[in-house]
Amino acid sequence: MRILICDDDILSREQLKKYIQDYFKQTSAKCPEIACFSDGESLLADEGEKDMLFLDIEMPGINGIYVGKELKKANENMIIFVVTSYAEYLDDAMRFHVFRYLSKPLDRRRLFRNMNDAIDLYHTMTIKIPIETKQGVHTFSGSDIIAIEALGRKVVVHTTVWDFESVRNMQYYLDLLPKNCFFQTHRSFIVNFEHVTDFDHSLVRMSKGQFFAYLTKRKYTSFKEAYLLYLESTR
């Protein structure tokens, strides 16, 4: 992971960098590289990995709205925080799907809460899931897995590419898949929130109605709460 900060105010850059370092120290995780930029031009010229960005809007030269749009074109999975004192830019920022909007001065505790969600989303997008079959092992990103289905003694992994009969059982996938975006709706189904279209008290419709999973009535409330929490974390 590589985290970027783009702000023309050096004090804001240094404070945010320290807060991010404090966050990883508090979570006992290794702090990734943090690269700082004072303007949009130098950020756009940077050729390094861009996984997460804290972006100011009002800067000399190219403003943050333009920078954010250009970066999203190049990498739609980039996690972008807009950090600014100007609330009037919120609508423009939302048009290129920023992850969160943080107002200045930064609140350390609020930043940490949002970092938790951002790190969960990053892991979900980048995690590699091995699907072991009798023929070999196929590796997919978490977002490419639609659902896991138990069909009698068989376990089928439904992906955006193909359906694979796995030699592993349901418990293996329950332990392996990230809990923030996968949910066991029924003893025979584990679904990926990312592919959910809609649901009622008995069925979950996925991939625009191309796939259905059973939803146990007693799990409806917990599924709904987990799904809404997932949606909130990806906004």
The domain that holds 206 is classified in CATH as 2.40.50.1020
CA distance 122 to 134: 31
Residue 91's pLDDT band, with cuts at 50, 70 and 90, is: low
Same domain, 104 and 24: yes
Residue ending a domain, among 90, 109, 125, is: 125
Residue ending a domain, among 125, 157, 192, is: 125
Give CA separation, 117 vs 18, 21, 214, in Å. 19, 16, 28
Same domain, 22 and 101: yes
Which alpha helices (H) appear in the chain, and where do they start and end? 10-26, 40-45, 64-74, 90-94, 108-126, 170-176, 220-233
How many domains are contained in the chain?
A: 2
Same domain, 95 and 21: yes
Average pLDDT over residues 73-88: 84
The full length of the chain comes to 235
- Tokens encoding 216: 């146990």
Residue 221's pLDDT band, with cuts at 50, 70 and 90, is: very high
Residue 86 has pLDDT above 70, yes or no: no
Looking at residue 20, its pLDDT comes to 97
The predicted-structure confidence for 132-143, as pLDDT tens digits, reads as follows 999 999 999 888
Same domain, 44 and 74: yes
Identify the DSSP state of 97.
T
- Tokens encoding 98: 């920023």
Residue 20 buriedness (CB in 10 A; 0-12 / 13-18 / 19+): buried
Average pLDDT over residues 157-170: 96
Residue type, 98: V
For residue 158, give its domain range: 128-233
Q: Which helix (H) or strand (E) holds 192?
A: strand 189-192
Same domain, 168 and 67: no
Same domain, 140 and 92: no
Omega of the bond leading into 130 within 30 degrees of 0 (cis): no
Same domain, 150 and 72: no
The domain that holds 41 is classified in CATH as 3.40.50.2300
Of 123, 136, 221, nearest in space to 180 by CA = 123
Same domain, 41 and 13: yes
Same domain, 101 and 19: yes
Looking at residue 173, its pLDDT comes to 95
Same domain, 105 and 213: no
The residue with tokens 């490419």 is 144
Residue ending a domain, among 90, 125, 160, is: 125
**Entry pTM:** 0.70
Same domain, 52 and 76: yes
Same domain, 89 and 183: no
The predicted-structure confidence for 183-210, as pLDDT tens digits, reads as follows 999 999 999 999 999 999 999 999 877 8
